[in-house]
Amino acid sequence: MPRPLSLPEPCHMPTERERRFVGPRRAQLIFALFFVVVSILLLSQIGSQTKWVEKSKLFAQPRFWPAVGLGGMAVLGTMHLYLLPWRKVTRYDWWELRKWTQVLEFALWFLAYVLLVPMIGYLPVTLVFVPLLAWRMGYRDRRMLGLSVLFAVAVVVLFKGLLGVKIPGGAIYEYLPGALRSFFILYL
């Protein structure tokens, strides 16, 4: 028995207001909703996160300028949301949102790096993370991975050895013998 033909999705005829909209449409509605919700949430916390100093001028109050900024964000975000000519999220909006969230992967890489350095040490973590990120970015041949390891060593030598940047030594270094432990904590 033949399958029935599926009906096409109903077409949406754009209104005059939608046709006159200048600029990208993708994920505008999602962004505006997120922006308004976050700004209102932050504004609701202003009383517990800042203080009001008695006998101080209005413009010198620690709470005043953050409240102005967050209030402006909430008002202008609400206006942006209100002035959008459409109120429906499409599949293209979700595709765009997925692109935005892909950036969070690299924030997670960075957070893992920052959490592991005090435990394992700057040199070992850098020697693992730089080639892993090179692999993740598509550089998969031996030459590029070797260059990424050399780059990791150069970064550690430059920042910790030559510039003397104070990066905490790894907790794992405590298990090394005395002189070697001091060398690793100071330079690696």
Residues 153-179 pLDDT 10s: 999 889 888 888 888 778 888 888 888
Long-range contacts of 73-78 (CB under 8 A, 24+ apart): 73/35, 73/39, 73/42, 73/43, 74/36, 74/39, 74/40, 74/43, 77/32, 77/35, 77/36, 77/39, 78/36
Q: Is 186 exposed, middle or buried (0-12, 13-18, 19+ CB in 10 A)?
A: exposed
Average pLDDT, the chain: 85
What is the per-residue pLDDT for 2? Answer: 57
Q: Which residue has the higher pLDDT, 84 or 120?
A: 120
Instruction: Examine the pLDDT at 1 and tell me if it is beyond 80.
Output: no
Picking from 29-33, 53-57, 100-104, which range would have the lowest pLDDT averaged per residue? Answer: 53-57
H helices present in 50-141, as ranges: 64-83, 91-120, 122-136
What is the model's pTM?
Answer: 0.61
- Per the CB < 8 A criterion, the answer to whether 90 and 20 are in contact is no
Instruction: Examine the pLDDT at 14 and tell me if it is beyond 80.
Output: no
What is the per-residue pLDDT for 174? Answer: 82
Instruction: Examine the pLDDT at 4 and tell me if it is beyond 60.
Output: no
What is the per-residue pLDDT for 127? Answer: 95
Q: What is the pLDDT of residues 68-78, one digit of tens each?
A: 999 999 999 99
